[in-house]
Amino acid sequence: MRLLVLCALAGATMCAQPPALDFLNHNRPVLDAHNCYPYQGRWTDRIDRALKTGFPVAIEQDIAWAKGRPVVSHTDKTTSAEPTLREHFFERVRPIVEKALAENDRARWPLIILHFDFKSNEPEVLRGVWDLLGEYESWITTAPATADPRTLAPFDPKPLLVLTEDSDAQEAVFFRPLKPGAKLRLFGSAHTAAIRAESPEQRTHLIATLTPAQLLAERPSNYRRWWNSSWYAVEEGGQPKAGDWTLAAAARLQALVDHAHRLGYWIRFYTLDGFAPTEDLGWGNAYNFGSRAAVEARWKAALAAGVNLIATDQYEDLAAFMRR
């Protein structure tokens, strides 16, 4: 009913085909495990911790290239000691995926949302990931390519859904070469407005004050299905500059989420942390609100607003908060 009302308000053109928002956890929030891989051999348990929080769960893997293979790495300056994407992610989740395929409970799929953050967009890296996805295609949610990229094909559900970000270089490898009927193996994020500013301060101000429609104007394509938004769009200056949570910020967050859903996008916000210096497990302060109380106010607001993917480094804490 809500979608029908939105379509009536937006006009027939915007809602010519209903968005496939329900596919991702029935359009309800999902915990997104940020930077879910080891750094320099440390924090090797992150993927196990994320998987133990329950399903569905999103798992971010930063991708680089080493020894002719895609590896998970926080930087493109690899040492060849990094774990491969195959072993760190795909073979780690094999028992989960094979059990899900045997049970065939499609109403629960996707169980795992695999999110790629590429540290390098060199063609060999992208082609290496595309080929690896092909080896596991029977596990992966796909959609057929359409003659018109603006025609959104339905998903063929599987236990995994693979997302990537907004790089045009990625689209050139993962989407543009596909003939109609060929399978999309992963889905990119939306292009947002190119913000030109005279200073970093002016840029952060513009991100926080442009209307949602100014930040994101294009409708989804068959390839670009989600909006990957920083928290700077909600509170000026982002996490390090955030003060008390306000009704104005809550309204801004709700407006951004509603706009994304109205267009037909899932929306992710990164990254909502709140911890003291002694609690830092390799997370850093770039996304730190500074206290548990401060981040819980944002977690509560994100859940209430219907954010699809709530990214955090504090996997267990957010999972427990969501259960409460």
Length of the chain: 324
Residues 225 and 280 in one domain: yes
User: Is residue 8 in some structural domain?
Assistant: no
- In this prediction, residue 19 carries a pLDDT of 54
Express each pLDDT in 81-96 by its tens digit.
Answer: 999 999 999 999 999 9
CB atoms within 10 A of CB 174: 24
Residues 185 and 101 in one domain: yes
- How crowded is the C-beta side of 136, counted as CA atoms within 13 Å? 27
Express each pLDDT in 231-279 by its tens digit.
Answer: 999 999 999 999 999 999 999 999 999 999 999 999 999 999 999 999 9
pLDDT at 12 over 80: no
- In this prediction, residue 18 carries a pLDDT of 47
Residues 159 and 205 in one domain: no
Express each pLDDT in 299-311 by its tens digit.
Answer: 999 999 999 999 9
Distances (CA, A) of 78 to 82, 84, 98, 116, 125: 7, 11, 31, 17, 13
Residues 171 and 269 in one domain: no
Express each pLDDT in 150-173 by its tens digit.
Answer: 999 999 999 999 999 999 999 999
Residues 49 and 172 in one domain: yes
User: Is residue 84 in some structural domain?
Assistant: yes
Residues 149 and 239 in one domain: no
How many Å apart are CA 170 and CA 1, to the nearest integer? Answer: 36
Express each pLDDT in 126-156 by its tens digit.
Answer: 999 999 999 999 999 999 999 999 999 999 9
By C-alpha distance, which of 117, 91, 116, 99 is closest to 55?
99
Q: Of 145, 162, 189, which residue is a domain's last?
A: 189
pLDDT at 11 over 60: no
Residues 106 and 201 in one domain: no
User: Is residue 5 in some structural domain?
Assistant: no
User: Is residue 2 in some structural domain?
Assistant: no
Residues 158 and 283 in one domain: no
Mean pLDDT, residues 29-33 taken together = 98
Q: Of 131, 160, 189, which residue is a domain's last?
A: 189
Q: Of 189, 220, 252, which residue is a domain's last?
A: 189
Could you list the residue range(s) of the whole structural domain that residue 70 is in? 22-189
Residues 30 and 114 in one domain: yes
Residues 235 and 161 in one domain: no
Residues 217 and 183 in one domain: no
Residues 298 and 234 in one domain: yes
User: Is residue 15 in some structural domain?
Assistant: no
